[in-house]
Copies of this chain bind each other. A is one copy, B any other.
Amino acid sequence: MKHKASPNGVSSRAKVLTIDTMNPTVKKVEYAVRGPIVQRAMELEKELSEGMKKPFAEVIKANIGDAHAMGQQPITFFRQVLALCSYPELLNDSTFPEDAKSRARRILQSCGGNSMGSYSASQGIDSVRHDVARYIKRRDDGVPCDPDNIYLTTGASDGIVTMLKLLVCGEGATRTGIMISIPQYPLYSAALAELGAVQINYYLNEQKCWSLDISELQRSLDEARQHCNPRALCIINPGNPTGQVQSRQCIEDVIRFAAKERLFLMADEVYQDNVYAEGCQFHSFKKVLFEMGPEYSNTVELVSFHSTSKCYMGECGFRGGYMEIINLDSEVKAQLTKLVSVRLCPPVPGQALMDLVVNPPQPGEPSHEKFIKERTTTLCALAEKAKLTEQVLNTVQGISCNPVQGAMYSFPCITIPEKAIKEDNGQKPDMFYCMKLLEETGICLVPGSGFGQRDGTYHFRMTILPPKDKLKILLTKVKEFHQKFTQQYS
C-alpha cells in the first residue's frame, strides 16, 4: 500500500486509476465536435449569463448538427404519437388525430405489456423492423429488403461502432485497417483509436467538390497493405463534414472497387433526405449494388446506417437509428445479435420515432397535409441556408467554399497567413483561428484539423442550422473576423 502525507495530516493513498495507468487506447480517442473549443464556448455562455462583459451578446454554436437546439421545429405528428405512447390515457383525448392514435396503438401493441417501458428485442421491435424494411424497399424502387437484416440502434453511432467492433482483429502487420475519408466525421477516428484498428486515410478531392476518386482509394489501399490488413471501406454520403452528394456513377465505381479488393462496405447514409443542390440526388448504396446484378448483389458485404437525428426530423436527443446488413455471413450475424443483446435494447422511444420516420402519415390520413408542410418547410429552409452559406463565404478573400450539395455543413478552405501559422501558441493554426473567432465574436465552429485535411490546408466546419437571420449575422461576423485576422497577421 503506497501512502503519501497530505497537508491536513490524513494519509492519502496513491490512486488506483491515473492518467498513466488508464486504458491507453482511450487516451488516443479524440472527438473535435465536442472538444476544447466547445468547452470554451460553454464557459463563455456561463460567463455571459453571470453578467461578464464580452465583445458579443451571445454565443452562436454552429459546431454540431443539433437541429432543434438551433430552432428547427419537431414534426407535430411524431411528437403527438410519442406523447400517446408515453401516456396512453391520451388515446381517449379527442383532440389527437386518428392516424396518430392508430400509430401509437400499433407501436404499443408491439411493446411488452403495451408499455414503452419494457425492453424490446435486442435487434429492435419486430413491427418497427418490418416498417423499416418496407421503407427501404420503397426508397430503393422495389429492391427487396428483409426485416431480419434490420437492426435498430442507439443513433447511427452505435451501429457504426458495433460493426467496426466485429471487423477488428489481428496484430502488427495483420491488424485490421479501416479506410475512412479525409475529411471524416470524427466518430470514425475515435472508434478506430479505441478499438486499436489502423485508420487508413483516403482524401476527398476538394478541387472537384469533395468528390471521391477511385485512383485515390487505390493509392491509399496499396500503401496501407504494406503495414496492415485493410478490411473495410467507410463512406459518408451525403458527406459530413464536406456536404457533397455522391453521383450514382461514383457509388457504382466504389462498389466495384470494394468487390475487386475484397472490402466490407460501410455506408453512412444518415443525411439521405438532406440533398439541396440542383442535379444532385441521393442514391443508396443498397440500390446501386442491386442494380449492378447478382455478381455484386450476392457477394458484396454492405451495411448502411440511418438515424432519426438528421434530415427534416433532427431528433438527436431520442437516439434512434437503424442499420441494414447485406450479405453478412450468417455465423457473424448470430454473433452480432449476441453482441447487441448484452446492452439489452436501443431506447424504445427512439425506436418508436424511427418507426414514424419510415412510416409517416399517408395521403388521405388526417395528419398528412400538415406533415408534408412541416417537412417541406424545414427542408426548403435548409436548402436556402446551404446556398446562402456558400455564397457569403465565397465573397471573402481567403475563404473558398464548395457548394453545400447536401447534409448540414460547409467545410470551407481558409487561408491562414504565414505569420499566424508560425505563431507558437501550442495550437494548430486552425484551432488558433477558431479559438480567436470564438473569443472575439462568440461564434463556435470546429477547426478542420478535427476532421482531417490535407497537410498545409486549413478549414473549419460550420453547420447551416442557425435560423436564417442568425446565420446571416454569423456569416457577416466570420467575414469581418477573417479580414481582420488576415490583416493582423500579414
Interface on A for B, CB 8 Å cutoff? 1-2, 6, 8, 10-19, 21-24, 26-27, 29-31, 33-35, 42, 64, 66-72, 74, 79-80, 82-84, 86-87, 90, 93, 111-113, 115-122, 154-155, 157-158, 161, 165-169, 186-187, 190-191, 194, 231-232, 259-264, 294-295, 298-301, 313-319, 327-329, 331-332, 335, 338-339, 341-350
The answer to whether A259 and B13 touch (CB under 8 A), given A117-B67, A350-B347, is yes
Query: Is B316 a contact of A344 with CB atoms below 8 Å?
Result: yes
User: Taking the full assembly, how many copies of this chain does it contain?
Assistant: 2
Query: Is B117 a contact of A348 with CB atoms below 8 Å?
Result: no
Q: Closest CB-CB distance, A117 to chain B, in whole Å?
A: 4
Which of B15, B67, B341, B347 contacts A34 (CB under 8 A)? B341
Query: Is B117 a contact of A31 with CB atoms below 8 Å?
Result: no
* Residue of B whose beta carbon sits closest to that of A190: B342
Q: Closest CB-CB distance, A126 to chain B, in whole Å?
A: 10
Q: Point out the residues of chain B lying under 8 angstroms from A155, CB to CB.
A: 343-344
Query: Is B167 a contact of A17 with CB atoms below 8 Å?
Result: yes
User: Roughly how many angstroms separate A463 CA and B70 CA in the complex, as a whole number?
Assistant: 45
Query: Is A317 a contact of B118 with CB atoms below 8 Å?
Result: yes
* Residue of B whose beta carbon sits closest to that of A341: B34
Query: Is B347 a contact of A16 with CB atoms below 8 Å?
Result: no
User: Roughly how many angstroms separate A29 CA and B338 CA in the complex, as a whole number?
Assistant: 8
Query: Is A115 a contact of B29 with CB atoms below 8 Å?
Result: no
The answer to whether A69 and B115 touch (CB under 8 A), given A16-B264, A19-B332, A344-B157, is yes
Q: Point out the residues of chain B lying under 8 angstroms from A161, CB to CB.
A: 343
Query: Is A11 a contact of B167 with CB atoms below 8 Å?
Result: no
Cβ-closest 3 pairs across A and B: A69-B112, A317-B348, A83-B87
Instruction: Kindly list 19 other residue pairs between chains A and B, CB separation below 8 angstroms, not including A1-B262, A83-B86, A165-B194.
Output: A15-B301, A15-B332, A19-B335, A24-B169, A29-B342, A31-B341, A34-B341, A64-B119, A83-B84, A83-B87, A90-B90, A155-B343, A157-B342, A187-B342, A191-B342, A194-B339, A317-B345, A319-B346, A319-B347
